[in-house]
Chains A and B, each alone.
Chain A
Amino acid sequence: MSIFVKKRPAKPDPFEAQTLEHLDALYAVSCRLTKSPLDAEDLVQDTLVKAMRAREQYEPGTNLKAWLFKILHNTFINKYRRGGLERVVLEGPDADPLADGWVSAASMRALRDPESQALRPLVQQEIHKALDELPEEFRLAVVLSDVEELSYKEIAEVMGCPVGTVMSRLHRGRRLLQKRLYDHAVYLGIAPAGGAPPEEAGTIDIGEYRARKRGLG
């Protein structure tokens, strides 16, 4: 049979090779989405097989990583989340106005730079927990922005929503993270409780804030 003597391909397919360069990123995001390394592997595997099927739809020159994340997100929604979005959290009021209020410069410094490096693992653990507790859409937006460095526009494409929504999810996700870490720091005695707000500041109106941000997008 002629097929038996066919030479093995010497080099991997270029599209496959480029796609595999993003495997760690896909796996990392997948771990945070599914919160389980095993599910994360399944999700990435499904994603990449789908990417192979849809490879003709990828436009060369555009961000391959963002395109792969879009498939990953869609696969995740179809497979793991049939219950629809967490509307209550997404559209409800902000969890705590403090998150948008002011913390003194000294507290921020203390929070950012704990005297002892030994505290770092604790902070990492706290970030891990805080991230996992974020509503899924906030978490994905934050990870795509802070870890994968996707632009607002790319995140909007991945998540299938307007740029303004991305900004709002990022903002709220990050505030929730900050608040959680700040509370943790207070608990550990690194930062003083109830950081005094500067005179001029006051609390920021979140509605006004979002309107401004959408204007930017």
Chain B
Amino acid sequence: MTTPCRTVSCLIETYLDDELEPSQLLEVEKHTATCTTCRERIQLDRAIRMGVRRTVSTTASASFRARVAHSMTAERWASNERAQTATGVPTWRAVGLAMAATVAAVVGLERQNRQDADGAEQPTHANASSAVGLDAIIDQFVDWHARPLPPEITNANDLLGFEPYVGVPVQPRGLSTFGAKLVGGRILPVREQNCAAMLQYTLDGSHRVSIYVFDPRVVGLRPSKLHTKVIGSVPVYVGQIRGWSIAAAERRGVGYAIASDLGDDASAELALAAAPAP
């Protein structure tokens, strides 16, 4: 006697979930070989599952992936730090540094860097190929300003920890004279394994200003999208990108870029003010 549809229909779901006992599996397969209705039921169930899969499947954005990878590495470093503290090994600014270092790791992971470890220690000098990518970096600066990631540090004293990763002093002291208040800072990947520091400020409590500090050998200052303005005797590159004002300048061998909702003049002044006091 063949198994009735009613019995088989109860097994179809488990059959499709691949969780049936071998004997029940045989029962279902034998029945569906001859029963169109049950075959249709199986195909309908399958089609709906495919539909659910298509509907649910999605991909996390690259920036979210980088952020998550960063948090995980930061957590690992923080755990190591806790473990070391517990065993009495002295540490120094390890958390800030850990966070900075994790970005380096993320950059390596994300960009599948082709450089070997030795090469990575040498920043790329500005040349024809680096100038091509400069607009892309300026664009990236604007994106980071428009949609900032949460800061890694909020205390100005911790900025020192960024320096080994940026390769230049990260001390935009002149900004305080404008009444700019530091909200926080983080390290961000720029080209290969190099990093820039991003410092977020508020100005008069109503303007958000992002300041990028970088090694000008990594981000050469020959921007094509921006125009040159001379303030005193110093050239400052200014322009508007997607509604944001951007200004970049080099002072004493350190590169600075500002993204803000201010005007060109104010941005240019801030870019110069960011340079460390002599």
Interface residues of A (CB under 8 A from B): 1, 3-4, 7-13, 16-17, 19-20, 23-24, 27-29, 31-32, 41, 44-45, 48-49, 51-53, 104-105, 108-109, 111-113, 123-124, 127-128, 131, 142-143, 145-147, 151-152, 167, 170-171, 174, 177-178, 181, 198, 200-202, 204, 209, 212-213, 216
Contacts and interface: CB of A to CB of B under 8 A. Distances in A.
Nearest to B98: A3
B48 A8 contact: no
Nearest to A46: B71
A8 B75 contact: no
A20 B55 contact: no
Contacts of B241: none
Contact of B60 (A23, A32, A112): A23
B60 A143 contact: no
Interface of B: 4-6, 9-10, 13-14, 17, 19-21, 36-37, 40-41, 43-45, 47-49, 51-60, 64-65, 67-69, 71-73, 75-76, 79, 92-94, 97, 101, 104-105, 108-109, 117, 120, 164, 193
19 contacts: A8-B193, A16-B73, A20-B65, A24-B59, A24-B60, A27-B64, A41-B60, A48-B71, A105-B36, A108-B43, A127-B51, A146-B49, A146-B53, A174-B45, A200-B4, A201-B6, A202-B6, A204-B10, A216-B21
In order of increasing CB-CB distance, the 10 nearest A-B pairs are A52-B75, A27-B60, A112-B47, A108-B40, A105-B40, A108-B44, A105-B37, A146-B49, A8-B104, A112-B44
Contacts of A113: 47
Contacts of B59: 24, 27
Nearest to A209: B10
Contacts, number: 159
A212 B72 contact: no
A143 B52 contact: yes
Contact of B52 (A151, A177, A198): A177
Given A3-B94, A12-B109, A44-B60, 6 more contacts: A4-B164, A52-B79, A124-B55, A146-B53, A174-B13, A181-B51
Given A145-B17, A216-B21, A8 B47 contact: no
Chain A residues touching B, majority SS:
helix
A147 B57 contact: yes
B69 A10 contact: no
Contact of A28 (B45, B49, B57): B57
Contacts of B94: 3
Contacts of A131: 52, 55-56
B64 to A, nearest CB: 5
A170 B17 contact: yes
B66 to A, nearest CB: 10
Contacts of B55: 124, 127-128, 131
A30 B44 CA distance: 27
A124 B76 contact: no
Nearest to B104: A8
Given A16-B76, A201-B6, A147 B53 contact: yes
Best-surrounded residue of A41, A108, A216 (most CB of chain B within 10 A):
A108
